[in-house]
Amino acid sequence: MKGLRIVSTGRALPKTAVSNEDMSKLVDTNDEWITARTGIKNRYKCQDESCVSLAIKAAGIALERAGIDKNEIGAVITATSTPDYIFPSVSCMIQKELGLSEEIAAFDVSAACTGFLYGLRIAHGFVNSGMSKYILLVGSEQLSRIIDYSDRSTCILFGDGAAAVIVKASDGIFAQKTWTRGDLDALSCDGVNGKECFVHMNGHKVFRFAVTAMEQGIKEVLEKAGLTLSDIDYVVCHQANKRIIEHVKKKYQEHAHKFHVNIDEYGNTSAASIPIVLDEILNEKSDTASAGKQGEVSIAQPRKILCVGFGAGLTWSGAVLEG
């Protein structure tokens, strides 16, 4: 089996920032409570933007940074729970706006916050089989569309945003585990047959599930890859709650510095949260990046990245790849 390598990344956030102070004008809450319970200080909210427009912007940045022939993109996959339309898919809109070949597959993946990681698995299948050279994988969410802004237990958590990666097969590593457990009680959003369309969450149940899912994701994907955390450069966790990440980090204190946390800035952006972190670490935190063949971002020693996430479904996954 071939490895999977990130060639380039890009992200896009709405212009409008919403602070905890702003949230306290909507519901009975305050900065102290939100910061202590979640680690969130800020999130972004679409005004003129949408899930599709953010996705196109993030994907466009990733494509430009990759410097590749766009006709070599073999598929567009967008992970989202908040598309602009039931159909056409967000991915179809990206194909059109970026002028990608019509001879590709373009479709969306629905697995809530785990959607990007499920998309990674599909992307690997495409490139590993030799069917495609590059895959454009996007996570984009306009969660403000499905938030009840009178429910203080959920509305403070979520933010809008998008990020994209372009991946290709490599001689390096790829390993992944994915899990699914049908469950309507912990996290759901109705919206079919004229029902209200808001996130419903049992915070305690999700929290308990999240810490075990994250630990399982890290442990079992490392076993599958035949690696330990000492071999990993970055651990990229779904950014749902700083306390969940801190809880997991405690188990791996020696490697705590490898866990990147940005939930303070963005809140929980669901399927976009992991690629937003990837964009931050691969573009801002590296002083070794340089232009390679075809203008791709390349480094002498690709970094090993472990991504782990969970979401409604319930769904969860851990993946190891290079970037």
Known catalytic membership, residue 268: yes
Known catalytic membership, residue 92: no
The residues of the shown chain that bind ligand ACO, judged by CB under 6 A, are 29, 33-34, 37-38, 112-113, 152-153, 156, 187, 201, 203-204, 206-207, 210, 240-241, 268, 270, 311-312
Q: What is the rounded end-to-end Cα distance, in angstroms, of the chain?
A: 18
Known catalytic membership, residue 46: no
To the nearest 10°, report the CA torsion of 121, 143, 235, 127.
Answer: 20
- Of 96 and 208, CB closest to ligand ACO: 208
CB neighbours (10 Å) of residue 29? 17
Select which of 113, 155, 237, 307 is catalytic.
113
CB neighbours (10 Å) of residue 321? 27
User: In 3D, which of 297, 280, 279 has the Cα closest to residue 288?
Assistant: 297
- Of 34 and 173, CB closest to ligand ACO: 34
Nearest residue (beta carbon) to ligand ACO: 203
- DSSP secondary-structure letter at 78? E
- Of 135 and 245, CB closest to ligand ACO: 245
164 close to 171: Cβ distance less than 8 angstroms: no
- Of 61 and 206, CB closest to ligand ACO: 206
Select which of 20, 124, 268, 307 is catalytic.
268
- Give the Cα separation of 31 and 263 in Å (integer): 14
Minimum distance from CB of 105 to ligand ACO (Å)? 25
- Sequence-distant (≥ 6) Cβ neighbours of residue 272 within 8 angstroms: 11, 116, 139, 140, 141, 161, 162, 163
Minimum distance from CB of 131 to ligand ACO (Å)? 30
Residues noted as catalytic: 113, 238, 268
